[in-house]
């Protein structure tokens, strides 16, 4: 109660404002953790792009002399059963492990939010049909659905992207629909109508941007999930096929060898996944703050 009063007491006086850039930069720098995470992502992307030139060895080149070597100066993260350098494989795998989750999440985000927005705004039987379809899709556990679809259509990179996207679409769809249901009742939505906006402008220029921010956070979290889904699919053999490297698939290969003491084959790809998922989550938090215009003045 007292906080409301305090807020009301100084809310009346209009706040001073900086230029958009200065305020953006100030807020960016304020959240140190997200900043670090963001830089790490940039670093990962750079590594992924430059992978072929950064990798110390050819990731697919077997070396009969250096089979199952533990981490050493020559092979920093050890070698696998074929003598291939772990570090190089992890670096090369980062391409797939960043590309597929990113593209599939983006795809799911766009498709899901678009349909969710239209469905939520329109309401009526269109909305009902869409929601029943979403219910049906969500009735499957996401991973089971992914497995089924991959088994059906094959596991090329494109197909994997599509499959993972499909499992994620319902989440964004529902979330944006919920936001839209609330937002369309707002007075400014009515004002947009009475001012003379055609429906598409009301939905996409006025309402959609105000619904979208929560989805950004959701998407960064989901990207972590997408990495895990891809890794899990590859682990059971449905995802990226050998000899192409992918972190989950590498964990799978190394799993059986753990018993005989070759711990480095599963551990390092596992750490790679952990770090990637973690920094996506941290960036999500930071992005949400950045995108809220109400935080501009603070």
Query: Per-residue b/e over 173-204, b at no fewer than 16 CB within 10 Å?
Result: bbbbbebbbebbeeeebeebeeeeeeeeebbe
Q: Is 5 in the site for another protein (CB under 8 A)?
A: yes
3-state secondary structure of 215: helix
- Near another protein by CB under 8 A: residue from 29, 136, 195, 278: 195
Q: Identify which of 217, 7, 192, 229 has the alpha carbon closest to the alpha carbon of residue 96.
A: 229
- Near another protein by CB under 8 A: residue from 10, 21, 73, 125: 10
- Near another protein by CB under 8 A: residue from 147, 193, 242, 282: 193
Q: Is 33 in the site for another protein (CB under 8 A)?
A: no
Report the distance separating Cα 76 and Cα 72, nearest Å: 5
CA 288 to chain CA centroid, Å, is 14
Q: Is 9 in the site for another protein (CB under 8 A)?
A: yes
Q: Identify which of 117, 97, 40, 83 has the alpha carbon closest to the alpha carbon of residue 245.
A: 97
Q: Is 3 in the site for another protein (CB under 8 A)?
A: yes
Nearest distance from residue 209's CB to another protein, in Å?
A: 5
Contact flags string 150-189 toward another protein, x per CB under 8 A:
------------------------------------xxx-
DSSP state of 245: -
Q: Is 22 in the site for another protein (CB under 8 A)?
A: no
Report the distance separating Cα 180 and Cα 182, nearest Å: 5
Contact flags string 198-237 toward another protein, x per CB under 8 A:
x-------x--xx---------------------------
Report the distance separating Cα 100 and Cα 132, nearest Å: 28
Residues that bind another protein (CB under 8 A): 1-3, 5-10, 12-15, 17, 186-188, 190-198, 206, 209-210, 293-294, 296-298
């Amino acid at each position: 109660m007292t906080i409301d009063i305090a807020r009301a007491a100084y809310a009346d006086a209009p706040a001073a404002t900086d230029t958009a850039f200065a305020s953006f930069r100030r807020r960016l720098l304020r959240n140190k953790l997200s900043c670090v995470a963001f830089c790490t992502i940039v670093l990962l992307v750079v590594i992924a792009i430059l992978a072929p030139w950064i990798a110390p060895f050819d990731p697919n080149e077997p070396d009969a002399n250096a089979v199952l070597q533990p981490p050493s100066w020559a092979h920093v993260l050890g070698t696998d059963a074929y003598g291939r350098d772990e570090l190089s494989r992890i670096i090369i795998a980062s391409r797939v492990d960043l590309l597929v989750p990113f593209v599939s999440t983006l795809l799911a985000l766009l498709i899901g939010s678009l349909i969710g927005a239209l469905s939520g705004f329109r309401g009526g039987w269109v909305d009902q049909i869409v929601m029943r379809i979403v219910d049906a899709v969500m009735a499957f556990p996401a991973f089971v659905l992914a497995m089924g679809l991959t088994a059906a259509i094959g596991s090329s990179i494109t197909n994997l992207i599509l499959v993972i996207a499909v499992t994620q679409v319902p989440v964004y769809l529902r979330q944006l629909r919920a936001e839209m249901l609330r937002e369309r009742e707002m007075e400014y939505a009515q004002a947009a109508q009475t001012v003379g906006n055609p429906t598409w402008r009301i939905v996409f220029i006025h309402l959609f941007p105000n619904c979208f921010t929560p989805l950004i956070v959701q998407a960064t979290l989901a990207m972590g999930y997408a990495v895990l889904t891809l890794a899990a699919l590859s682990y059971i053999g449905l995802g990226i096929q050998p000899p192409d490297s992918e972190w989950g698939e590498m964990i799978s290969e190394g799993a059986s060898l753990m018993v005989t003491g070759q711990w480095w084959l599963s551990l390092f790809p596992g750490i790679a996944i952990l770090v990637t998922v973690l920094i996506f989550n941290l960036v999500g938090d930071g992005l949400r703050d950045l995108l809220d215009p109400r935080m501009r003045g603070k």
